[in-house]
Amino acid sequence: MSKDALDKLRRRIEEMDVALLKLLNERAGVSLEIGKLKAESGLGVYDPDREESIFEYLARDNQGPLNTSEINRIFSEIISISRRLQSTGSEPQAKSTAGGHTSALSGSTSVYGILGNPVAQSMSPLMHNVAFRHLDIDAIYLPFEVEDLQGAIAGMRALRIKGASVTHPFKTEVFGLIDEIDDTAEKIGAVNTLIFEKGRIRGTNTDWVGAVRYLKTLLQIEGHKFVVLGAGGAARAVVFGVTSQGGEAIVVNRSEEKGRALAEEFDCAFVPFSEVESARGDCLVNTTPVGMYPKEDEMPVPKGVLGAYKAVADVIYNPLKTMLLREAEGAGCRVASGFEMFVFQGIEQFKIWTGKEPPVELMRNIVLERLQTS
């Protein structure tokens, strides 16, 4: 090939790049308009049916030479950017600083908090406080690093705390210290939310709601198979959420005893980790800590299994995008970070405590910004 011919082809590429840039910016403008219309109509940004239909018509109309995996990888990023732009158009700015409490506290200020150890790294105060301020609710959410859970619960009861989140390592220990546990928390085997009412404390679980909502950003749950890695508390929430929504769960775990016990409890299949490559499903969900900071270069499954899935989700949100999710994107999968599950479970808590619709995109964006800059 002559140099002139090569230069001519490169000029064509440059012209195409400029044309693509123009189209992408036009698409971004439309996304902003969609965000405004959704806000006016009271609709959420996430529309999993619509997103799934995009991948379907792209696969149908693609004539190559790009393959379906490459197309999915490109448009996964475009759709992610579109969500962010729609969020920008759908939510007003916060009325206070990033999660800080700027209103004057008084004797009538409602107090909420999170019980755990450690809790210094928790994003919950940031997320709930910005929502309180946005809705002009006289309330504050505080982190409580607890050594004595029984003493902490007694103290919160005496101080008439309005509600609390429960995190590691107290989600099961709290069972014997409160007055009532609802059927959902009982079934999952963990409490992550406390409601203080008329001197009584009721426990429930919103982790499963977070799991359902974040999986629905990838695909519909009903009629699809979800291969769940792990058998701990997060796995229980995911399996409960999937099966309660008409999906099928397959448990994969290193400890066969724990994995089989979870699978039998929820009447679903079990596959030993040594046979993970034989597991077949639409979505792979990692609920193990493999890949979490500081061991960010680890993956819970071999890279080669990822191409068998349409979507991959990870409950880890530090790092925001684990090696598992990066490799899954490279294999053409749609992906979802654990921060989505975290935000959605917190949104459900806020609804339970206040009876109000929270500013979903504001809560999501404030957490995302902190994770991206931390």
Residue 252: strand pairing partners: 229, 271
Instruction: Decide: 130 and 99 in contact? Cβ < 8 Å.
Output: yes
> Could you say which of 171, 295, 303, 321 is catalytic?
171
Tell me how far CA of residue 370 lies from CA of 70, 74, 263, 332, 366, in angstroms: 30, 26, 36, 28, 6
- 225 is an active site residue: no
Instruction: For residue 20, give both structure tokens.
Output: 């693509």
Tell me the longest C-alpha to C-alpha distance in the chain.
Answer: 85
> What helix, strand, coil percent values describe the chain, rounded to 5?
50, 15, 35
Burial string for 7-29 (b: 16+ CB within 10 Å, else e) reads: eeeeeeeeeeeeeeeeeeeeeee
Q: Tokens 């700027």 appear where?
A: 102
205 contact partners, CB below 8 Å, separation of at least 6:
182, 184, 185, 188, 190, 191, 192, 193, 237
d(CA 122, CA 128): 11
Burial string for 252-277 (b: 16+ CB within 10 Å, else e) reads: bbeeeeebeebbeebebebbebeebe
The catalytic site residues sit at 171
